[in-house]
A and B are shown apart, each in its own frame.
Chain A
Amino acid sequence: MSSNVITASVRQTDAKPWVDELHQWLATVDHKRLGILYIVSALMFLVIGGVEALIIRIQLMHSHNNFVSPEVFNRMFTMHGTTMIFFVAMPFLFGFANYLVPLMIGARDMAFPRLNAFSFWLSFLGALLLYFSFLGGSGLYGAGNAPDVGWWSYAPLGARAFSPGA
């Protein structure tokens, strides 16, 4: 098990090494790098979801507060729930699993590395798409229309009449 080193010939370095580095991260199919990408994206959304939680808590700090409008308040608890479950908790756990399972069983990578990479980029772009809803569309209340009907999105609130743009 010891003396586990393979020496490779030194690669030609790019004139712009950071471009090379970025390219390696974006195009990676290595389970370790994908695990770290999952974890870093989850950290980013942990901070975003945390800010949403703080807005909720400032609003509820005392009675008859109007720190945010009721519409924004609804968006905050909806986005907080969706963000924390789908873009924080699950990516964190998938990231650690992605990184550690092959190492623990003595494997060199996951069975389908490209599928693994595809999976990360789908979930990350999905998260960006959800947050794009703050910017895109006219919505019920003018500026942006992030979902505001709770993370369950119970029918008929998810229907077009009640969530026109989301």
Chain B
Amino acid sequence: MDLFIQILVNGALLGGLYAVMALGLALVWGVLNIVNLAHGAFIMLGAYSSWYLYSYLHIDPFIGLPITAVIMFVVGYVLQRGLLNLVIRAPMFNTLLITFGLEVVLTYLAQIMFSADFRTINPEYAGNNLQFGHIVVPIVPLAAFGAAIVLTIGMWLFLLHTRLGMAIRATAQNLLAARLYGVEPRHLYATTFGLGLALAGAAGGLYGTVSQINPYIGATLTAKSFAIAIIGGLDNPLGVLVGGLFLGIVESLTALYIGPTYSDVASFGILVLVLILRPSGLLGKTA
């Protein structure tokens, strides 16, 4: 029984991290209709940014998170205005190609700049944990889990209740009407993409604190974020959180009862099932 509870805890904590990784992807996809295949590469860059801040400037990774987020926001804003905006009206295939190209370029730039060596963000407390009887709760994943909840609810409140958030939703729903009401779409798109990258950057910082960083982690993270966004649905950040938790717990239980080689089979199997049964996500509005 202890083992079962421990695995549930592990899965939920893993799921929290998954949710942060997928939030940015879901936001950009939902509002700009861009499936950002470079999302994982941006998580990787965020991880390196946190690693630099920690290793060279001795800034604690959790204090470094907002700094990384701001850097990534600027990168995202500029990239959207300067590059992606050129193809925003083009068929989806073009945006897929351009973000795929970005992924390749960023990965190889990262190898040139940071080398293929493995890095970890490893502060003193990184391996600490809390113990409740036989159940162990590692603190960094717990903090990442907390960050996931804060960011998700923050995103949700932001989209529902702030002027900018409402403008973002309005643009996603009806561009023409939004323009008539004075929304400047170019600025808004760039802001949204910047926000997506800021979230990716924060996810990268958290990822580097629990895992290892190298230039090639991006592709897997994109795939995982993609699955979570589909499972959770794109309308609502809360859906992403639910999707992340669900996937984390299913993967952990699969590893325990069926075998660790089947974790990916389980997660992508669920992706297929969701697409068949609830195409707009677990919490999405039914069509």
A in complex with B = no
* Interface set of A (CB-CB < 8 Å, partner B): none
